[in-house]
Structure 1
Amino acid sequence: MKSYDGCWTCRLRKKRCDEIRPVCRNCSALQITCHFGNEKPSWMDGGFGQKEKAEEVKREVKSAAARRRGTLPMDVLEPIAAEPDNDAGLATGGLNEQRASKCPPFPGPLCVRDLAPSQYQALDRRFMMFYFDHFFPFLFPFYKPLLLEGGRSWIMELVVGNQAMWHTTLCLSTYFVSVALDGAISGPNVCKTLAWEKLLKQMGVTFMMLHHNLEEVASSNTQDLIIKTSRIMGNIIQLQRFEISVGNFENCQKHLSAAITLLKQIFRAADNVIGDGELPTFYGVLSQMGRPLWAIKSQQSGAWSSDQAAFRFYSALLIVDDIIISTCTEEPPRLLEYHAQLLTNGGSPDERPLNLEDFIGCENWVMLQIGEISALDTWKKSIRKAGQLDTMELVARASAIKQALLGNLARLDAAANTPKTHWLGLFTLYNDHLPPMPGGCTAFVTRVWAHAALLYLSVVVSGWQPGSAGVRENVVRVLALLEQMPTPELLRTMVWPFCIVGCLAEPGEECRLRAMANALVPHRLFGAARKALEIMENVWKCRDGLTIDTDFAACVCSLGYVSLLV
């Protein structure tokens, strides 16, 4: 006898449900969305809505079946004429059923209609290698871990061993292969737009599945919880970075909040295991994920396991994302309490748990000070609202931040001609995706971020004064640095500095900033930089109406939503 208290998906499919939450066994086995809840869904109306939803579930079952066989779903690569998507086509102004049905499939290499199952699998493997060889280095050009730390092999190990990561990575790679072939293949743009929109919808389903997975593991207090939760966190951050790169910022705050919650849960779970009542060290958390493949006695680190390496990588990205979005939300970084132990422990970079320059090309001290400026901004606004602002205290706090930035900039300049060497350095010649620069790319990127941080500090302390001497000095310096970039694509690692400099630029400098953004082609792969240009242009339009009380957060939110500029 079938259950009448089961999930709505099983009721719709007229199947017996075991009522396991958050995903029943039927839906889990089929890898489809498990709808459950006390309230009856609006589509469960016994009429057209229910029939339409049933057809949607059938398509989802078919698509999931292709994934389980290790093949790529047809509707990822080409639109299905018989089943047009009414809400796809955001970039085409809306596509009606008749227009969608006339769209021919992708030509050339993207026509997969007649492939045998073995060829599908081969296609998947090639798309996956495209991700490892091209897409990942494109997104994270500074991430080149040494062989003694295990290199980048964890990426492949994690993707192959984790079904959710495999699926999301395949989706990402599919999109970028489509973009890469866009210039080489002629064909209707409508079809390509439909394929991309379907891909983004599929990513939305993936996020929902990840939230269900979170609920599933949240009740556990075992060491296994740490690994499972860290994998979910990594999936969320990876998908969010992809969404940002293609210009989709609608869910960035929600996804970032979920990832931050997961990181805090991981530390709490490690504390439950260690049991000393204090915030565990980063290495303490890593130790709960297993042992490194090998260890070096003179260092705390070694060749990290795939889960340890992934946790380090995604924690670094999350720390940066949290700091950057705090400058746009008028709130301090939500992971501020973790900064000291993750970014400053020890006297040398080798002793810090995370060196951000290895992940994003910017040294820790800049990000730490941007986080401090954001916290100072929040403090200033709350105290001023209460009528208790002490200007001398504000200046004193700001002076300490400014001196830290200027002191480190001076150190950076002094070390500009000092070559960096490390063991097995000869292999960097064959594994370097960055252009050669005097002093290195990380020093260049760090310098740009530092001068942008000084601009941010000026706005927080003195208000919106684009014409002031201090602001003009740093705007001119950053613009000069950005125009020295050896390749335009390097700008994608400095989007936040690019945006704040652009917002404070003079009219005569606008064309230089537009040229930098327009040099990033194809535009589809540089969503954050394009969004930064859109924010700047919005500020330029209302430049005469800006007052001294305007801040950077107001500029970023002038489009009606918060954009994560990373």
Structure 2
Amino acid sequence: MKSYDGCWTCRLRKKRCDEIQPVCGNCSALQITCHFGDEKPSWMDNGLGQKEKAEEVKREVKSAAARRRGTLPMDVLADKDAGLATGGLKRQSASTKCPPFHAEPTPDSSPGWASTHTQFSTTLSKAHPDSWNTLDRLYISNSSDREPGVSELDRRFMMFYFDHFFPFLFPFYQPLLLEGGRTWVMELVAGDQAMWHTTLCLSTYFVSVALDGTVSGPNVCKSLAWEKLLKQMGVTFMMLQRNLQEVASSNTQELIVKTSRIMGSIIQLQRFEISVGNFENCQKHLGAAITLFRQIFWAVENVIDRGELPTFYGVLNHMGRPLWAITSQQSGAWNSDQAAFRFYSALLIVDDIIASTCMEEPPRLREYHARLLTNGGSSDERPPLNLEDFIGCENWVMLQIGEIAALDAWKKSTKRAGRLDMMELVARASAIKQVLLGNLARLDAPANTPKTNWLGLFTLYNDQLPPMPGGCTAFVTRVWAHAALLYLSVVVSGWQPGSAAIRENVVRTLALLEQMPAPELLRTMVWPFCMVGCLAEPGEEYRFRVMADALVPHRLFGAARKALEIMENVWKCRGELAIDTDFAACVCSLGYMSLLV
């Protein structure tokens, strides 16, 4: 029996609709587009348009059914992601450098999480072939009737994320009590549907991995977690598309807040895909997030009307008032939207810089670096974003990696035009090298001691970082800095693994990596790990394999495993690499860009 008050999708399919907005139970269970609205869609014409739309919905149901059974092809994700770009985003094009050598990827190196996890779901299906159909009926029933069990299950998955996976993914992010702590994570997820579904994607995947490692044999819990993941992926894309459409009709403050939430959801979705080993959508996700980030600054710029980019604190002020303010400091206890924007902006800045090392262009957000990552020359002020608080690496290293990427782009463009000035290249590289060496000397000085947080009373009980002399951030920063020196040497002098300067930094960085107090810390240094590994000698290869193999289960360390795969590809072609080979060619040697974060 069809509904005359439900969504237009259910009316088209002649199904009873529970009228829950923005996605009804039927459409949510089937993972298809839910059309709500007071105005009748143009395709509901009782004619050819309605017939064509009905066929389109049938195809969507069929595609979603394949996705629910663990056979989601990568083109489905690509089509969905393309929808993000067309739904109000102008995605910037970015050229990926083609590799100068042609090595065949290893059998398990195909991009995308479908290849890895289809095998997992296929194993489950063989163990109990009726389980998928049973689970389909279970979800349709629970989604339509809104039984309490589903809500309770969602909450358990969500608390699993808060308690375990967020600290696992971001071990350095431990905001002070005076800044509001991590409460914003829970508040934002509970108050934003797109973020809720994106977070469920993360949590359900990790739960499925945890259950797969602790429970042997056929188990409905593992199947349920996997089924929930596949469902949440479809719902997440629908919610993001709907939110993008709503932004256009918002006032200035609502536009800024809603846009920042969508940006956060996309960045979180990207981190999820990287964690599971899918790198095909990196450029799409990154381009969309960068566009949204710029739109936020442009919106504030239009309000203040000063003809210049607003400050980062100026943008935060347009997202509401802090919970409380401290007169002696610029910051206070950020509200949930302010704290989220700070967190995801830091991740986006890092992602953009690391992506620029794999592309022939400077970081796309380079114009924002001075406003976000420096203190404006005042030693008494903290920069708006301290990256060591988010990823464990100090700002100066990331700034210089961005400058090296910009120098690489300048060198290649002037060389193509026949205007390369080697003296200018060396002069600009020397300035970067002095910054790196000067700060490394500061890190190595005996006076460099870890900062004391007198409000961290409970650090002993919940700190995710292992104790070590000087602190983990100093260790991680030192590794990144030596990798940056390697990157600079390759940009200036070309691919010469045997040169004295490169060998010196390879030996130092490898020795540092082997001093890690815990293998899992490698997750925060994947780019340096890959950089030094590509330049390693044959006798050093096994040492990199040992570090990567220590990260178990492998499915939780997608970026590190991808870095090892890139190294293996480079090692096989070591004798074919010319002097004009660069790091970008190595990263893209598998046929796509891998964002090593």
State the TM-score bracket (shorter-chain normalisation).
0.7 to 0.9
**1:500 alignment partner in structure 2:** 531
Q: Write the distance in 2 (CA, Å) between the matches of 1:342 and 1:351.
A: 10
**1:241 alignment partner in structure 2:** 271
Matched, 1:121 2:151: yes
Matched, 1:371 2:417: no
**2:33 alignment partner in structure 1:** 33
CA contact (8 A) 2:392 2:476 kept: yes
Q: 1:85 to 1:427 in 2, by over 3 A?
A: closer
5+ residue gaps, structure 2: 36-40, 75-113, 133-137
**1:109 alignment partner in structure 2:** none
Matched, 1:291 2:321: yes
Matched, 1:90 2:131: no
Q: Write the distance in 2 (CA, Å) between the matches of 1:166 and 1:95.
A: 24
> Structure 2 residue aligned with 1:531, among 562, 575, 578?
562
Indicate the RMSD between aligned Cα atoms, in angstroms.
3.6
Q: Write the distance in 2 (CA, Å) between the matches of 1:343 and 1:497.
A: 20
Matched, 1:475 2:506: yes
Tell me the SS of whatever aligns to 1:183: helix
CA contact (8 A) 2:124 2:223 kept: no
> Structure 2 residue aligned with 1:252, among 251, 274, 282?
282
Tell me the SS of whatever aligns to 1:316: helix
Q: Write the distance in 1 (CA, Å) between the matches of 2:570 and 2:164.
A: 35
Q: 1:546 to 1:353 in 2, by over 3 A?
A: same
**Number of equivalenced pairs:** 528
Q: How does 1:169-318 map to 2 (within 5 A)?
A: 169-188=199-218, 196=226, 199=229, 202-203=232-233, 206-218=236-248, 220-318=250-348
Matched, 1:519 2:550: yes
Q: Write the distance in 1 (CA, Å) between the matches of 2:115 and 2:227.
A: 8
Report deviation, 1:181: 1.5
Report deviation, 1:203: 2.1
> Structure 2 residue aligned with 1:381, among 405, 412, 435?
412
CA contact (8 A) 2:200 2:232 kept: no
Q: 1:187 to 1:348 in 2, by over 3 A?
A: farther
Report deviation, 1:95: 8.7
Q: Write the distance in 1 (CA, Å) between the matches of 2:440 and 2:329.
A: 28
**2:178 alignment partner in structure 1:** 148
Per-residue CA shift, 1:121-179, capped at 9, x if unaligned?
A: 33222221111110000000000000000000111111111122112212211111111
CA contact (8 A) 2:13 2:54 kept: no
**2:80 alignment partner in structure 1:** none
Q: Write the distance in 1 (CA, Å) between the matches of 2:267 and 2:204.
A: 18
CA contact (8 A) 2:300 2:315 kept: yes
The alignment's TM-score, normalised by the length of structure 2, stands at: 0.80
Q: Which amino acid aligns with 2:399?
A: L
Report deviation, 1:117: 3.3
Tell me the SS of whatever aligns to 1:502: helix
Q: 1:28 to 1:118 in 2, by over 3 A?
A: closer
> Structure 2 residue aligned with 1:430, among 441, 461, 466?
461
**1:412 alignment partner in structure 2:** 443
Q: 1:349 to 1:183 in 2, by over 3 A?
A: farther
Report deviation, 1:351: 2.0
Q: Which amino acid aligns with 1:484?
A: Q
Q: How does 1:330-349 map to 2 (within 5 A)?
A: 330-346=360-376, 347-348=378-379
Per-residue CA shift, 1:77-117, capped at 9, x if unaligned?
A: xx5xxxx85759633569999966953649xxxxx899993
CA contact (8 A) 1:333 1:371 kept: yes
Q: 1:273 to 1:540 in 2, by over 3 A?
A: same
Per-residue CA shift, 1:531-565, capped at 9, x if unaligned?
A: 00000000001000000010000000000000000
Q: Which amino acid aligns with 1:365?
A: W
Q: Which amino acid aligns with 1:90?
A: S
Q: 1:13 to 1:395 in 2, by over 3 A?
A: same
Q: Which amino acid aligns with 1:163?
A: Q
Q: Write the distance in 2 (CA, Å) between the matches of 1:14 and 1:317.
A: 45
CA contact (8 A) 1:323 1:367 kept: yes
Q: Write the distance in 1 (CA, Å) between the matches of 2:572 and 2:50.
A: 44
**2:105 alignment partner in structure 1:** none
CA contact (8 A) 2:197 2:232 kept: no
Tell me the SS of whatever aligns to 1:265: helix
Q: How does 1:398-409 map to 2 (within 5 A)?
A: 398-409=429-440
Q: 1:95 to 1:167 in 2, by over 3 A?
A: closer
Q: 1:94 to 1:446 in 2, by over 3 A?
A: closer
> Structure 1 residue aligned with 2:578, among 514, 534, 547?
547
Sequence identity percentage: 76
Q: Which amino acid aligns with 1:413?
A: D
**1:485 alignment partner in structure 2:** 516
Tell me the SS of whatever aligns to 2:167: helix
Q: Write the distance in 2 (CA, Å) between the matches of 1:42 and 1:443.
A: 63
CA contact (8 A) 1:227 1:307 kept: yes
Q: Write the distance in 2 (CA, Å) between the matches of 1:532 and 1:43.
A: 49
Report deviation, 1:290: 0.7
Tell me the SS of whatever aligns to 2:285: helix
Q: 1:326 to 1:211 in 2, by over 3 A?
A: farther
5+ residue gaps, structure 1: 17-23, 61-74, 107-111
CA contact (8 A) 1:237 1:314 kept: yes
Q: Write the distance in 1 (CA, Å) between the matches of 2:569 and 2:425.
A: 30
**2:111 alignment partner in structure 1:** none
Q: Write the distance in 2 (CA, Å) between the matches of 1:297 and 1:196.
A: 49
Q: Which amino acid aligns with 1:540?
A: W
Q: Write the distance in 1 (CA, Å) between the matches of 2:290 and 2:592.
A: 20
CA contact (8 A) 1:43 1:49 kept: no
Q: Which amino acid aligns with 2:33?
A: T
Matched, 1:450 2:475: no
The alignment's TM-score, normalised by the length of structure 1, stands at: 0.85
Report deviation, 1:459: 0.4
Q: Write the distance in 2 (CA, Å) between the matches of 1:196 and 1:386.
A: 53
CA contact (8 A) 1:416 1:438 kept: no
Q: Write the distance in 1 (CA, Å) between the matches of 2:475 and 2:123.
A: 51
Report deviation, 1:457: 0.3
Q: Which amino acid aligns with 1:518?
A: D
**1:439 alignment partner in structure 2:** 470
> Structure 2 residue aligned with 1:459, among 473, 487, 490?
490
CA contact (8 A) 1:10 1:26 kept: no
**1:135 alignment partner in structure 2:** 165
**1:64 alignment partner in structure 2:** none
CA contact (8 A) 1:244 1:564 kept: yes
CA contact (8 A) 2:476 2:525 kept: yes
